[in-house]
């Protein structure tokens, strides 16, 4: 394996005196897609927040590759309605970015026309894509996504994952994401970590789906999700995404 972009060694996190994560050891290789699954309260978001440095380790450590650029998409971002801010201003925080860089990031995230819109006027899907654009602004080597498709419907989140895959191919960045969309996740990942306060099991999606620890948490029903992931569909979309809808692929919708 190449030198990891980021790694946790025996990482434990305590929040309010309670151990939320215990003894996590993980290394993420360049370009790898690692997905973290696990029940609510299993410490998935905590793990990502520890990786960006928002939570200090109680023991163990986080090792970053020197000069590592991280793009982070938080779980939820509620912008107060009293705060007027345009998309391009939002991208220029805390450091101002040149307009062409912002435009390129927005295009990469699939929302090229939103620069002058108010953040509070965006739809859920557009909002998440703007967050993705923000995360890829500095061409990160590591993209961290915390349930980035929360609040999106199924076609919306499938399209979003498709976008992430394109971004990864574009930038060659590693991706670590937390997700509840087991269907998509299990097929789109190189490696799956099943987490419940510690790492229950890990491996390729096939290995994890068969692992008794995974089945104990999620049941056996999701095994079939792998088969569901790739499918045919030929209905039409009233959007302008401009590609053939008959082929085998994931959905892509232009958000309106």
Per CB under 8 A, does 74 bind other proteins? yes
Does 112 interact with other proteins (rule: CB under 8 A)? no
Candidate ranges 19-27, 92-100, 186-194, 225-233; the one touching other proteins (CB under 8 A): 92-100
89 lies in the site for other proteins, by CB under 8 A: yes
Judged by CB under 8 A, the residue of 58, 63, 65, 79 near other proteins is: 79
- Give the angle 230-234-237 at the CA atoms, nearest 5°: 110
Could you say which DSSP state residue 160 is in?
H
- Regarding 124 and contact with other proteins (CB under 8 A), the answer is no
How many residues at the interface with other proteins, by CB under 8 A? Answer: 24
Query: Judged by CB under 8 A, which of 52, 103, 211, 226 binds other proteins?
Result: 52
Could you write out the DSSP letters of every residue in 19-30? EEEEEEEEEE-T
For residue 94, say if its preceding peptide bond is cis, omega within 30 degrees of 0.
yes
Which residue in this structure is represented by tokens 């104990």?
Answer: 216
* CB closer to other proteins out of 119 and 201: 119
- For other proteins, the closer of residues 120 and 196 by Cβ is 120
Helix, strand and coil percent figures for the chain, each rounded to 5: 35, 25, 45
Binding segment for other proteins among 67-75, 182-190, 194-202, 230-238 (CB under 8 A)?
A: 67-75
3-state secondary structure (DSSP) of residue 90: helix
202-231 positions binding other proteins, by CB under 8 A: none
Does position 97 interact with other proteins (CB under 8 A)? The reply is: no
The span from the CA of 256 to the CA of 110, in Å, is 12
Of 56, 66, 67, 94, the one binding other proteins by CB under 8 A:
94
The minimum distance between CB 83 and other proteins, in angstroms, equals 5
Is residue 53 within the footprint of other proteins (CB under 8 A)?
yes
66 touches other proteins by CB under 8 A: no
- Minimum distance from residue 89 beta carbon to other proteins (Å): 6
Residue 19 tokens, joined:
């151990």
Q: Beta-carbon neighbour count of residue 193 at 10 Å?
A: 22
142's enclosing H/E stretch is strand 142-146
The total number of residues shown for the chain amounts to 256
Q: Is 70 in the site for other proteins (CB under 8 A)?
A: yes
The DSSP bridge partners found for residue 178 are 36, 146
Q: For residue 5, what are its two tokens?
A: 């972009």
Residues forming the site for other proteins (CB under 8 A): 49, 52-54, 70-72, 74, 77, 79-80, 82-86, 89-90, 93-95, 118, 134, 144
């Amino acid at each position: 394996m190449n030198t990891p972009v980021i790694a946790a060694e025996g990482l434990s996190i305590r929040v309010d005196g309670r151990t939320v994560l215990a003894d996590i050891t993980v290394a993420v290789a360049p370009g790898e897609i690692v997905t973290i699954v696990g029940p609510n309260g299993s410490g998935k978001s905590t793990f990502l927040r520890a990786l960006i440095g928002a939570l200090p380790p109680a023991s163990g450590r986080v090792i970053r590759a020197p000069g590592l650029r991280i793009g982070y998409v938080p779980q939820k971002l509620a912008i107060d309605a009293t705060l007027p801010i345009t998309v391009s201003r939002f991208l220029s925080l805390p450091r101002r970015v040149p307009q062409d860089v912002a435009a390129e990031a927005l295009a990469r995230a699939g929302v090229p026309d939103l620069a002058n819109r108010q953040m509070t006027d965006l739809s859920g899907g557009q909002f998440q894509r703007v967050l993705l654009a923000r995360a890829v602004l500095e061409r990160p080597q590591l993209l961290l996504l915390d349930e980035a498709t929360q609040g999106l419907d199924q076609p919306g989140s499938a399209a979003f994952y498709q976008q992430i895959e394109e971004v990864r191919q574009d930038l060659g960045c590693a991706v670590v994401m937390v997700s509840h969309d087991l269907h998509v996740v299990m097929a789109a990942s190189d490696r799956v970590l099943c987490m419940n306060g510690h790492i229950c099991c890990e491996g390729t999606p096939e290995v994890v789906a068969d692992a008794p620890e995974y089945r104990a948490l999620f049941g056996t029903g999701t095994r079939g999700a792998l088969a569901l992931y790739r499918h045919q569909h030929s209905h039409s979309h009233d959007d302008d995404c401009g590609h053939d809808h008959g082929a085998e692929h994931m959905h892509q919708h232009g958000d309106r």
